[in-house]
Amino acid sequence: MKKLTVALLVLCTGCARVPPVRPDDGAVIVVAAGDISAPEFTGQQLTATLVEQQRPAAVLVLGDSQYPDGALADYQRAYEPTWGRFKALTYPVPGNHEYKSGGAGYFAYFGARAGDPKKGYYSFDLGEWHLVALNTNHDCLDLPCDAESEQLAWLEADLAASTKKCTLAYWHHPRWNSGSHGDFPRAAPIWKVLQAHGVELVLNGHEHFYERVGPADQAGAPSADGLVQLTVGTGGIGFSPFGTQTQASVVRRNDTLGVVRLKLSAGAWESDFLGVPGSTFVDHASGRCH
């Protein structure tokens, strides 16, 4: 079995900002973050500028895109002038705050890009990668998230049908989490399916900080055959405190707004956390596909 390798953390104090990547090898650039916008906050303006600078092929929104409750009027007021500029490139997943109003504003704003409103999960191909967007609200909060669930059955079939060597999955609630919410055991069946199919990367939001975990196995222990998880709840809303450190946590930071930039190549990936102007924190990781 091929092993997944992860580059060492780079912490850079007082260094130059990471410049935009202009891949010439057929790779695609993806930018991702969650926990983004509220009418009374301005952080989304700063992170939107970061997104724009990277000229991405796709933007992954990792849930809680609009506070406090995902109302359509708030999307139009706060999200639309900032991250809404990338709507045609955006592939979102819903967070718990979108469902505080039943998800109506979220699905009305994003339309077909958010998938079936009764499901909120979907998949697509981007370059040499397969991407899977999951909904840990509809299927894992309102209903049991187990091997019998509709979403899990769909996920199994979707991954089995994919012809891509490399796969990235993303949803809102991090399976492994050093924040106050702790680990999210209801996503355990999802993690099991993803690992069984050799998925490389998982992206989440929910906690208002950045954390890199793994590669981790189904028990959350470090494992070369596990998945790397990036929690990127730094899209603009602010910061939340750390709690008990999850066992495979590698890097944590809860004082820097920013986004993750991914370079997805044929057979490999690279990630960089990019902070807003004034920040000095940088985290770089890379790996080969299973």
What's the chain's average pLDDT? 86
Cβ-based neighbour number of residue 143 at 10 Å: 12
Give the C-alpha separation, 239 to 31, whole Å.
Answer: 20
The predicted-structure confidence for 173-215, as pLDDT tens digits, reads as follows 999 989 888 888 888 999 999 999 999 999 999 999 999 998 9
Structure letter (DSSP) for residue 66: B
The predicted-structure confidence for 60-108, as pLDDT tens digits, reads as follows 999 999 999 889 999 999 999 999 999 999 999 999 888 888 888 999 9
Flag whether pLDDT at 166 surpasses 70: yes
Instruction: For residue 262, give every residue at least 6 positions away whose Cβ sits within 8 Å of its Cβ, in sequence order, or none.
Output: 29, 30, 31, 32, 168, 201, 269, 270, 271
Contact predicate 208/238, CB 8 Å: yes
Domains of the chain: 28-288 (3.60.21.10)
Tokens of 107: 């699905």
Cβ-based neighbour number of residue 121 at 10 Å: 22
Tokens of 111: 């339309």
137 closest CA partner among 108, 117, 153: 117
Looking at the chain, the whole-number percentage of residues with pLDDT higher than 90 is: 65
pLDDT of the residue at 219: 87
Give residue 9's pLDDT band: very low, low, confident or very high (50, 70, 90).
very low
243 closest CA partner among 176, 171, 172, 173: 176
pLDDT of the residue at 23: 53
